[in-house]
A and B are shown apart, each in its own frame.
Chain A
Amino acid sequence: MSQGQLAALGMGIAATLYVLVIAANLLRRLNVMTRLARAGLIVATLVGFIADIVGLPAGTSKVSIFVVGNQLVTWRMAPGALWILVPAWLAVLLAVWVRREVGTWWSLGAALAILGVLGLSGFNNGASMIFGWELMSLGGAVMLVSNRPDGEGSKGTLSMIGLLEVGSVALIVAVGLLGPHLGFGSFRADWAMRPEVISGLIGILFLVGFGAKLGIIPFYSWFADAYGVADGPTAAILSSLVLNTAYFALGRALLQWLPAHGPSTLFVGIVVAAAGMLSAIVAVLYAFQQRDWRRLLALSGAENAGIAVAALGAALIFQSGGQAELAGLCWIIGILHLMGHSLAKAGLFLAAKVKADRDASYRIEQTGVAHEYPATVGIGALIASMSLSAMPPAMGFVTEWLLFEALFHDFVLTSLAGRTTLILVGAGLALSAALSLATFVKLYGVGLLGGRREGRAVLLASRLTVLVLGVANLAMAVSLVFWEPFMRRADWPDPESAKALIDGLLIVPLSSSFAFISPVKFVIVGVLFALVPVFLIVRRFAPRRVAPWSGGEPVDLAASATTGFSFSNPLRTVYSFLYRPITTTQRSYRDQGYVLDRVTYEAHEAPIFGAGLIELLRRGVKQLARWMAPLQSGQLNAYLSYLLILFVIAVLAIFIH
């Protein structure tokens, strides 16, 4: 059996196991079923992980599923999908292993979501692709709602589903516009046949469709609300596997199906790049203000997705200028970025789980979690934070550096619009990188450091996963020079023209004379530099330990600790035109207004997209519902009469046609 066939077999086994998990969940009468479901989930994910690795670098083999109409529906995962999902599988494996609560519908949701992932990335057919897309959304919603049996998470889940359905509608329209053939093979040709305007519209529709899950502006508003009701493992799955699949699907749509060198390519590329950059900036600005672990990480995920989408837009722009190598480079960068992101983000979500287990709260506050678990959570969360804020030598640094280098190649383009867009995108990404550094300094410094407070014990397994994911991120960055050449098959749109990013132990953007870095050397030199302060610590004088001094009275670390709010407050004030902050101070007195009894202080920012587009849509829908209200009279006779009318119309249509 070839590698590809083995991989396809493995994925098949995994898919079957997931279906069994779903079945087990539905047969809940027997108590052992839910435990079986959890075990099945872990085994299925493990099989999927192994199958994914086995399938590299050529992709899985093609599997025929069934025939619809006169078209054969096949399933095959392309190398690009396999690459982008490798670290995501690891993250999901650790997440499902760590989640110990049984008895909920969570495993059902996870299985649905992963089945949707397999479907979206593997099917060759427009309709099946959308089916997989919907399964992903449904699975995500079930996972969210299953966290709160009392229905508390419903608002966030509904907002997520609502916006994802907008994406689905956009996808359906796009696929429909592409023509009679639903098979991917003819999409490029169909697309090329369309007039320019329709062509550009299709591209935008795909952006809207897949962008709903990627959090492209204005769709990131559901991120904070939905993730804010999730728990660590749920969010880890959503932000690794599901996000990466959506990105792969968007890239496939825009790079493989969009006709190369068409005039619409440049237009779509500019819109995609600008959308990516803007969503990165706005998402990270809001992320910086969050005071809840999950919300902050969710918006940071939207930021990173925005960066990857900006890379995709750059690829389109280069492609329209005839620069196939640079286009391929940008696409690889997008894949690598989300690979690193999935590890880091999942690691931090699982660190959030550690914090929630210990302190029973997801608030970003100084309780000294990293001081209590320095070897696991301390190190793992540090590497993950460094990756997400593009600090060397983590993976996030490597991919952002590569992206900037790719953008700096804009001088090869002849189109002024293209060059200007790339320059502006570079500037915008620099801004978002700076803000993300501040955000993760806040998350690590205020969320994990500080004076130690007593909390509940946390299982070793939960803490170890944070370390594993962090180290995996670092290992990915350091080992990139060794396995990147294998990625060439994933290099769209033109794998043949792909050039290596590697030159010896250096990582280069197409050529080492332009620029180069070396994470391998960073790590070696970094360790050597770290030895210097170690030697300096061996002092001549014995230190005298004294208590901290604060005006002569004992220090109260908990009360005076920096809060998430006070850290972000300066930026909140400076950007108040964006945040529209609201602060309410309520004072209650014991007498007519002098002896103060209680003061409460609350600070909010205005909702991300309260006014504007969503509000308009909401009002439109409400108005429509009001007009249609008379139809819903609730009387059986009325409904029967509707059926009669439709029957008459159908009969007339058949006989007149």
Chain B
Amino acid sequence: MPLWTYRGLKGGIKTAPWPIAALSTMPGLPEPIVESCPPGCEQCAMSCPTAAITVDQQLTLDQGACVGCNLCVEVCPSSVLVAPPRLARAVENRDDLRRRSGVEPGQPRLHPKGDARRLRKSLFIRHVDAGSCNGCESEIGALDNIYYNLHRFGIFFTPSPRFADVLLVTGPVTNPMYEPLLATYEAMPKPNFVVATGVCAISGGTNGGGDYARQGLGGILPVDLWVPGCPPHPAVIIDALLGLMGRQR
């Protein structure tokens, strides 16, 4: 019988110190950087698979609909769009995800809501898969591994909504999952919070729309946090949850 305990001790501590470097080194979602584009050019808008880009007076890229495929970056003739070397982080207002050319890309700090301050030390999350592609589940599942180690922040996943504080939803909300999602929300005690994780939950992404799925949580549940990314990096999810608790760094 091999000594797993000895093996574990020999392996040492693998938990990455927080904040994790990836937050500010990995390439994130594209943003417009110059003041204006050549007039009449809509190459980026036409190449976007989720129609995240609108070209009006200014170029607006909705990071809440951007899956990070970078097709727009590829087809843009004037290098207007660039993927910056930092990951896109969660926001409280949906509109804060819309990056506009000529507007300084800020990263508003997350403020905990009144009741959320009581959750400063510990948070329990109920995750619901409302029709995702499984990429978000893979990243959310990675939160419990020893590298990200979600437990050190006092954050745990629960099997039942009855003692959960946060409802973490992935996926665009397919028709069969609509009622179960609402039932799960109803089953949570107050105060509770809803986090839309991933582009599908924010705006439908590539999976939503069509006859069989809606376009994210907008209009279905009151959302407290929007976490962009397809899928969002585990560090971004941790940052979002800490922001909810008022412990963002």
Q: Interface on A for B, CB 8 Å cutoff?
A: 544, 546-547, 549, 551-553
Residues of chain B lying within 8 A (CB to CB) of residue A546: 186-187
Most buried by B among A544, A552, A553: A552
Is B206 positioned at the interface, with any CB of A under 8 Å from its CB?
no
A-B contact pairs, 23 of them (CB 8 A): A544-B189, A544-B190, A546-B186, A546-B187, A547-B183, A547-B186, A549-B160, A549-B161, A549-B162, A549-B183, A549-B184, A549-B187, A551-B180, A552-B128, A552-B177, A552-B179, A552-B180, A552-B181, A552-B183, A552-B184, A553-B179, A553-B180, A553-B183
- A551 → B minimal CB distance (Å): 7
When each residue 185-218 of chain B gets 1 if its CB lies under 8 Å from chain A and 0 otherwise, what string results?
0110110000000000000000000000000000
- B188 → A minimal CB distance (Å): 9
Give how many A-B residue pairs fall within 8 Å (CB-CB). 23
The 3 closest A-B pairs by CB, nearest first: A552-B180, A549-B187, A552-B183
| 15 further contact pairs, Cβ within 8 A, besides A546-B186, A549-B184, A552-B128 | A544-B189, A544-B190, A546-B187, A547-B186, A549-B160, A549-B187, A552-B177, A552-B179, A552-B180, A552-B181, A552-B183, A552-B184, A553-B179, A553-B180, A553-B183
| B-side interface residues, number (CB < 8 Å) | 14
CA distance in complex: A553, B183 (Å): 8
Residues of chain A lying within 8 A (CB to CB) of residue B180: 551-553
CA distance in complex: A546, B190 (Å): 12
- B178 → A minimal CB distance (Å): 10
Residues of chain A lying within 8 A (CB to CB) of residue B187: 546, 549
- A544 → B minimal CB distance (Å): 8
Residues of chain A lying within 8 A (CB to CB) of residue B161: 549
- A79 → B minimal CB distance (Å): 60
Residues of chain B lying within 8 A (CB to CB) of residue A547: 183, 186
B residues 140-168 near A (Cβ < 8 Å) are 160-162
- The residue on A at minimum CB distance from B190 is A544
- The residue on B at minimum CB distance from A552 is B180
- B170 → A minimal CB distance (Å): 15
- B66 → A minimal CB distance (Å): 30
Residues of chain B lying within 8 A (CB to CB) of residue A552: 128, 177, 179-181, 183-184
CA distance in complex: A551, B128 (Å): 10
- B138 → A minimal CB distance (Å): 22
CA distance in complex: A553, B186 (Å): 12
CA distance in complex: A552, B127 (Å): 12
CA distance in complex: A547, B184 (Å): 10
CA distance in complex: A547, B177 (Å): 18
CA distance in complex: A544, B190 (Å): 10
- The residue on B at minimum CB distance from A549 is B187
- The residue on A at minimum CB distance from B182 is A552
Most buried by A among B161, B177, B179, B183: B183
- The residue on A at minimum CB distance from B178 is A552
- The residue on B at minimum CB distance from A553 is B180
- B109 → A minimal CB distance (Å): 33
Residues of chain A lying within 8 A (CB to CB) of residue B189: 544
CA distance in complex: A349, B227 (Å): 63
